[in-house]
Amino acid sequence: MGSFCVSITSAKNDPDKATVGFVVANAAVGSDQDTMVFLSTEGVWLAKKGYADDIEEDGFAPLRDLLASFIEAGGKVYVCSPCCKKRSIDETDLIEGATIVGGAKLVEWLANGSPCVTY
């Protein structure tokens, strides 16, 4: 199985990018790729419970459904630790299936040869 990384740096400041990032992540995990979404900077809000519930872009599935299907399919959601800290988001605020990590986790994933696309 190949691996794939989708880096998402936007939330409600650019819901179009946040949504398309998760659409691509679903495409990757649905194509049998070991897939991680890395949420950093504003993107970390997407992993906060309830935050994504009202993001529904025209022409796309609601973000909450994209998130749920991605996690259900075995995709991993990693959330940047210092980006959470800056925004006073802690582990108890996160949706089930999201994990707080630091940069080494991302470095390892990419150093093993994973492609990465950023939104």
Partner 1 sequence: MGSEVESFADGWDAGDLGCGELIVELRSRLKALAPGERFELIAHDPGVREDLPAWCRLTGHRLDRSEPPRYIIISREDP
- Minimum gap (Å) between residue 58 Cβ and partner 1: 35
Question: Do you know the residue count of the chain?
Answer: 119
- Minimum gap (Å) between residue 100 Cβ and partner 1: 4
| SS3 at position 8 | strand
- Minimum gap (Å) between residue 107 Cβ and partner 1: 7
What one-letter code names the amino acid at 103? Answer: G
Regarding 91 and contact with partner 1 (CB under 8 A), the answer is yes
Q: Is 98 left (phi over 0), alpha (psi -120 to 50) or beta?
A: beta
Eight-class DSSP state of 11 = S
Cβ closest to partner 1, residue 50 vs residue 92: 92
* Interface residues toward partner 1, by CB under 8 A: 78, 80-82, 85, 90-91, 99-105, 107-108, 111
